[in-house]
A and B are shown apart, each in its own frame.
Chain A
Amino acid sequence: MRVLDTTKKKRWVSLYVENRIGVLARISGMMSGKSYNIDSITVGTTEDPTISRMTIGLSSDDATFEQIKKQLNRCVEVIKLNDITDASAHMKEILFIKIHDCSEFEKGEIFRIAQVFGSKPIDYGINSVLLENVSTEGRNNDLIALLQKKFDNVEIVRGGIVAIDSISMIDR
């Protein structure tokens, strides 16, 4: 029997790519063309303006993930690939949540929630509040779940995860 373990696991890849038109399409298109599902992808330029860095989050089994990494490395536009699934890294996502139609009392509740979650209220209206939360993906999920349970009219924008390796113990 030549069948592999198919347990899915959350994976993270940090990718250095050429900062050129079409590279995001190349990467995302390759992933979709081979039926690899991306959970989250973020791109931005780096300290070197000719290089962009992507953080890609996905769920897959071991064999598929190996194949994904190989396929990414095959792309001429990919300069370097770091698998940070099990590496020590800082990972954060920016999240905006706008809560509409809230009463004075509810606004107080929102502020208490914000305090506990470390969110920043960054805008305020007669019956609405805008929170900004920079946190891990899981913590953002929790905050969204809570606010959606409590309020009917919640608008959400998520930025996707960005990640960077920790400074190593030796450097510290």
Chain B
Amino acid sequence: MKISGNQLFATAMKKEGVDTIFAYPGGMVVNLLDALYDHPGIDLVLPRHEQGAVHMADGYARATGKVGVCLVTSGPGATNLVTGIANANYDSIPIVCFTGQVSENLIGNDAFQEVDIIGVTRHVAKFVIMVREREMLAQRIKEAFYIARSGKPGPVLVDLPTDVMAELGSTSYPTNVNIRGYKPNKGVHMGQLKKAITMMKRAKKPIFLIGGGVNLAGAQEEMTTLAAKLEVPVITTVMGRGAINTEHPLFIGDIGMHGSYAANRAANEADLIFAIGCRFGDRVTGDVKNFAPRAKIVHIDIESASISRNVTVDIPIVADAKAAIEKIISHTQPMTHSRWVKEVKSWDQEHPLAMDVKEGVSPQKIIETLNELYADRDTIYTADVGQHQMWASQYLRLDPRHRLYQSGGLGAMGFGLPSAIGARIGMPEKSVVSINGDGGFQMNIQEMATAVCQELPMVIVIFNNTKLGMVRQMQTLFCKKRYMITCLASHKSCKGKCGQPGYECPEYTPNFVKIAEAYGSKGYRVTEDSQLADTILEARNYAEANNKPVIVECIVSPDELVLPMIKGGASFDDILL
């Protein structure tokens, strides 16, 4: 029997265990959708924009650990994916994007909705390929899923010309993959690991620096065991947060630009940085020349290209975080570093993370209210990008039941809402809270409709300070308060009058409460700390009673800053407290 490429595609999805596809229709995938019509086991989720689809697949993948899948048409459908693909690439999230393509005889002719999406995405994806022969289709799809989920995970794009998909061919789907240029590392080099352990034994002031790799590998439990066994303080990157319970006595805080004073000072004073699954990004190191000046560095990462790239490393170890941590646990005796731990903890008491808020709702209180209201529930938080993201990162309590997903590497505004939708669809038994700024929320605001239509009970918190706060903060601190296009309330008629005594700012647009209502749901506005708990609880109850997403808009002062801050390219000595 022979079947079309489109039919084979449906079979392939089943074989890969795909139950959900985030898909937007278009001319070049219409026959593919037709083939999927006969497979009710595969749910197609219709976003309102392709960028929504790819962030949903991303959120779905983060929440479920499975590969997220999206399917869009050629041309504009495909180009709308680019930000989401780059985002997944940066944060090592396994997704496979299928794009329709014009038939091969039209490729290169500037046909309607033709774009060389392979050329466009080549350098922001882990792997991209166009299927040029019907008989290669099954193998290419198999490889796409394998590449996406293995090694350092990442996004794969498969471009599907309509003629190839229409052609009849074999029904078989391969069971094995063998790509001669791609052999992800699975083992751990014991020689290197033993050297690292010896270094740990000799260290007086060691710290664990934990990145997103530990979370991706699902090694949170092992990490906690290891930290406790060696009694070594743990600091995390933004992506690594939650790798050990944030209430754990050995957890110090986040390192980097908006990390805690104690965590940054610990890195500055440490004599050994034992890094697992991080890449020493510029937001972590600041000025590389003055980063961790007293420390030797052990670096464990699954990707050899991440090692000794930004900082020189004394012991490089290429390995999966979980495998490496398990090996270290089994090859070490318990250690104590009580005095060092006490010292680091004392720095936290010297300059604890805390906000002193004079007007509006306190960002810290918003997050702490979420901590309390969701303490007993398995909860997924997603954050958008900006000040609220850093506040979420600083104050959210994370543990195996409470996870935070955010756009760590790319910093793509518009991630917060669609990723929450994807996460909720993947994990319907969990509570989902999407934390947004008023700027980023508007970047994918249209996905409110998706959340409503998918009947997703979730709480969407919007920190509304009427500003693009993170950039405004830089303008406050480094540009003498010369605010340039960072006010979202600004109208044309404000020109020359902004900041003048007696001048009242125009009303903010849009009205988020009415937005929620326009989408057929409910919105709440919080203007004082005292309303937080009751309002969020009421919103959650409404959401769950009606299976709808609700908006809780919190009015935050535009003058709140994310602190501490180490300016980009500066070192620990320049920390602003």
Contact = CB atoms under 8 A, between A and B. Distances in A.
B181 A67 contact: no
A28 to B, nearest CB: 11
B334 interface: no
B305 A67 contact: yes
Contacts of B305: 67, 70-71, 73-74
Interface in A23-71: 25-26, 29-30, 33, 63, 66-67, 70-71
A78 B122 CA distance: 14
Nearest to B124: A33
Interface string A1-16: 1111000000000000
Contact of B291 (A2, A22, A63, A75): A2
B308 A63 contact: yes
12 contacts: A2-B288, A2-B291, A3-B288, A4-B312, A21-B130, A22-B119, A25-B119, A29-B122, A71-B305, A74-B303, A76-B179, A78-B181
Given A25-B119, A29-B123, A76-B179, 5 more contacts: A22-B118, A67-B309, A70-B309, A78-B181, A80-B181
A170 to B, nearest CB: 27
A2 B312 contact: yes
Contacts of A67: 305, 308-309
Nearest to B303: A74
B535 interface: no
Minimum-distance CB pairs A-B, first 10: A70-B305, A79-B181, A76-B182, A76-B127, A33-B123, A2-B312, A79-B180, A78-B181, A70-B304, A2-B311
Given A76-B147, A76-B181, A78-B181, A30 B123 contact: yes
B101 to A, nearest CB: 13
B289 interface: yes
A4 to B, nearest CB: 6
Interface in B429-459: none
A34 to B, nearest CB: 9
Contacts of A80: 181
B283 to A, nearest CB: 17
A17 B303 CA distance: 20
A1 B309 CA distance: 15
A91 B431 CA distance: 63
Contacts of A66: 308
A75 to B, nearest CB: 7
A79 B183 CA distance: 10
A17 B123 CA distance: 17
Interface in B135-187: 147, 179-182
Contacts of B132: 21
A3 B147 CA distance: 34
A151 B468 CA distance: 63
A132 interface: no
Contacts of A70: 304-305, 309
A22 to B, nearest CB: 6
Interface size on A, as a range, is 20 to 34
A21 B179 CA distance: 17
Contacts of B182: 76
Interface in B245-302: 288-289, 291, 293
Nearest to A22: B118
Contacts of B311: 2
A18 interface: yes
A77 interface: yes
A77 B123 contact: no
Interface residues of B, number: 24
A80 B130 CA distance: 23
A74 B303 CA distance: 8
A10 to B, nearest CB: 22
B118 A1 contact: no
A140 to B, nearest CB: 32
Contacts of B147: 76
A24 B195 CA distance: 40
A29 B179 CA distance: 22
The CB with the most chain B CB atoms within 10 A, among A1, A76, A80, is that of A76
A80 B303 CA distance: 17
A25 B122 contact: yes
A63 B311 CA distance: 10
Contacts of A79: 180-181
A75 B181 contact: yes
Contacts of A26: 122
Nearest to B123: A33
The CB with the most chain B CB atoms within 10 A, among A3, A17, A67, is that of A67
Interface in B93-128: 118-119, 122-123, 126-127
A29 B116 CA distance: 15
Contacts of A18: 181
Nearest to B318: A70
B341 to A, nearest CB: 26
Nearest to B312: A2
Nearest to A72: B305
A17 B182 CA distance: 11
A3 B289 CA distance: 6
Contacts of A78: 181
Contact of B289 (A2, A33, A74): A2
A70 B309 CA distance: 10
A22 B122 contact: yes
B202 to A, nearest CB: 20
B135 to A, nearest CB: 15
B265 to A, nearest CB: 18
Contacts of A30: 123
Contacts of B126: 76
A49 to B, nearest CB: 14
Contacts of B304: 70, 73
A26 B126 CA distance: 11
A3 B285 CA distance: 13
A21 B303 CA distance: 26
A76 B184 CA distance: 10
A33 to B, nearest CB: 5
A66 B312 CA distance: 12
A79 B179 CA distance: 9
Nearest to B151: A74
Given A2-B312, A67-B309, A70-B305, A77 B122 contact: no
A25 B127 CA distance: 13
A25 B130 CA distance: 14
A92 B309 CA distance: 33
Contacts of A22: 118-119, 122, 130
B200 to A, nearest CB: 20
Nearest to B309: A67
A75 B118 CA distance: 15
